[in-house]
Amino acid sequence: MSSLAGSYLVESQSTGEVDPRERVDFWSEHIGSYQSRMGYRYAHTDNFRGETVRQRTEAYQLVRFRSDEIEYSRTAGQVRADPDEDYRLLLPLSGEIVLRQDGQEARLTPGTGTLVSFGSPFECLQDASTQAFIFTIPAREVNGPLNRKSPLATGLDLNRGLGRVVGNMLNDLYTERDHLTDPQFNAVSDRIVELLCMLATGDDRPDGSRHLTDVETTVRRYVREHAPDPALTGTSMARALGWSLRQIQLALQRAGTTPRDLIREERLRLVRERLQCGDCEHLTITDLAYASGFSSASALSTAFRQRFGVSPREMRYGSRRP
């Protein structure tokens, strides 16, 4: 059974609709149709029982499932053959799940979740009484905020505080599944991921000092790498890094700057370096302006004089004097 509104899909599947002798094959094929390549080891192959309720858009996917005892695995060969850098938040609602990845083990019971990377081999064992959520998160939404600290086969406490909020939001997203639109599902999912990243860094506050320090470090590195891009703004940077613009503004405000000022400063630094570099002498001031992200030579000259007290041309010829 399924319903579709825009790209938002709600779909239910159950082994109860399949001949008992064919249920393990059905389950392997069904799970494999919307998760990356994995191995399946069934404790009992006769009359296997399982069901899923799947919600997805082009950006996110939430699956609530229950099944008999099973072990899922993803080998190095499967990772190479079927690359998938996205993350899954795994959260049992009943039963127990044991996840092993990257030399770590997480033993999950209701109220304890973990982030699983499908870009690395893992083993995932669940008992016969397991019901759980598995929430697929695009890698870009996690790698920026967590500074690419992955995989994360460690337990996240979803029983209290911010963790409980995350768990409740996932449950509400599932409960209201038939009454959501594509943008609504994505908006709630965005908020869940933002809160989850705060939880995973160990800082429950969006303005916590450690979190803001991490944000500032990552933002400065991103601006250095992308300063020549004329489309670079605070908003585009927030979208690329997976944070809200407010988080980036708070982190830079604490450091005494703003996204706009940081971008301008990095572009001016880049122009100054090129003006003093002999290999760039063939570039005109207009060439340098466009190559460094400025909209025009006059915009560069105005900002450059305000920052350094001389024009780009004066700095270029002044640096050649003995």
Domain boundary among the residues 200, 218, 244 is at 200
Nearest-angstrom CA–CA distance, 2 and 14: 12
Do 193 and 264 sit in the same domain of this protein? Answer: no
Do 187 and 216 sit in the same domain of this protein? Answer: no
Q: What is the CATH number of the domain that holds 305?
A: 1.10.10.60
What is the pLDDT, as a whole number, of residue 163? 87
> What are the distances in angstroms from CA 136 to CA 98, 119, 189, 272, 283?
18, 13, 10, 44, 47
Domain boundary among the residues 180, 200, 220 is at 200
What is the pLDDT, as a whole number, of residue 202? 59
Do 12 and 117 sit in the same domain of this protein? Answer: yes
Chain segment 31-57, per-residue pLDDT in tens:
999 999 999 999 999 989 999 999 999
Which pTM was predicted? 0.63
Do 159 and 230 sit in the same domain of this protein? Answer: no
Do 174 and 228 sit in the same domain of this protein? Answer: no
Based on the structure, what is the number of domains in the chain? 2
Do 193 and 239 sit in the same domain of this protein? Answer: no
Q: What is the CATH number of the domain that holds 38?
A: 2.60.120.10
What is the pLDDT, as a whole number, of residue 2? 47
Domain boundary among the residues 150, 185, 200 is at 200
Chain segment 187-234, per-residue pLDDT in tens:
899 889 888 877 776 544 444 555 677 788 889 889 999 999 999 999
Range of the domain at 307: 205-322
Which of 12-21, 61-70, 201-210 shows the lowest mean pLDDT across its residues? 201-210
Q: Is residue 151 pLDDT above 70, yes or no?
A: no
Nearest-angstrom CA–CA distance, 109 and 68: 16
Q: Is residue 148 pLDDT above 60, yes or no?
A: no
What is the pLDDT, as a whole number, of residue 152? 52
Do 84 and 210 sit in the same domain of this protein? Answer: no
Do 139 and 287 sit in the same domain of this protein? Answer: no
What is the pLDDT, as a whole number, of residue 210? 58
What is the pLDDT, as a whole number, of residue 281? 86
Q: Name which residue leads in pLDDT, 207 or 178.
A: 178
